[in-house]
Structure 1
Amino acid sequence: MHQPDSSPWQAAAACADLSPSVVFSRRGKEAAPALRACAVCPVRRECETAVAPAESWFDGVCAGRLWRNGRPVKPRRRRGEPATPDGATPTDTAMDTALALDAAGAALAGGDRG
């Protein structure tokens, strides 16, 4: 069966070249490459809007989070890894920082990185 061409945002997704088994994994360890891709993805918001993970009962990685049955999976802390005061793990905080730095860099560059 012929599938329609992907939307322009899908072609720009950082996970576009990853295996579907990685993107749609229900386990954090297998989904790690997709989660890292989301951290630097230029179309993260478009992905979340299109997939609507909570409404579609999505399983896999979308918008920087692992979802199972439409619910975000809380990252597991490694033994001895402290949680941050708000309950996020240091990994969550690092991903948020990376996204903020990427957005700030794009704003400073005027969105023109060429």
Structure 2
Amino acid sequence: MLQPDTSPWQAAAACAGLDPTVVFSRRGKEAAPALRACAVCPVSRECEATVAPAESWFDGVCAGRLWRNGRPVKPRKRRGRPSEAAEATEFAATLDEAGARLPLASVAGGGRD
């Protein structure tokens, strides 16, 4: 089976090494690794522009959000604990403030959940 050619931005995506079932999951817990990858992804804008989740009725993770039927899913809040999406966003903000960047391999498949 032939794989479509990937564009340069897709090759640089932090989720490039993740299992597609994680990226296209409709459930927050299963999609957590993709959400964490998005939090540090250098090409999230290109991803969102290309996927156009609202127009394509997308299901999965795109540009740091979980989408179901083209609508962003609001993170569920657990008592006494921030949501996974909130944790990923906070982690990304910390990295941006420090000016640090993780190698893509460490985000996109280097660790296991």
TM-score with structure 2 setting the length: 0.76
Q: Which residue of 1 aligns with 2:87?
A: 91
Provide the aligned length of Structure 1 versus Structure 2.
99
Higher relative CO (CA 8 A, sep ≥ 6), structure 1 or 2? 2
Shift in CA distance, 90/67, structure 1 to aligned 2, threshold 3 Å: closer
| Distance apart, 1:93 and its partner CA | 5.3
Shift in CA distance, 90/24, structure 1 to aligned 2, threshold 3 Å: closer
| Distance apart, 1:3 and its partner CA | 3.2
Matches within 5 A, 1:26-105: 26-81=26-81, 90-91=86-87, 94-95=90-91, 97-98=93-94, 100-101=96-97, 105=99
Q: What is the root-mean-square deviation of aligned Cα atoms in Å?
A: 2.4
4+ residue segments displaced more than 4 Å: none
* Identity within the alignment, %: 78
The residue matched to 2:80 in structure 1 has which SS?
Answer: coil
Q: Which has the larger radius of gyration?
A: 1
| Gaps in structure 1 of 5+ consecutive residues | 83-88, 107-114
Task: Give the counterpart letter for 1:94 in structure 2.
Answer: E
The residue matched to 2:45 in structure 1 has which SS?
Answer: helix
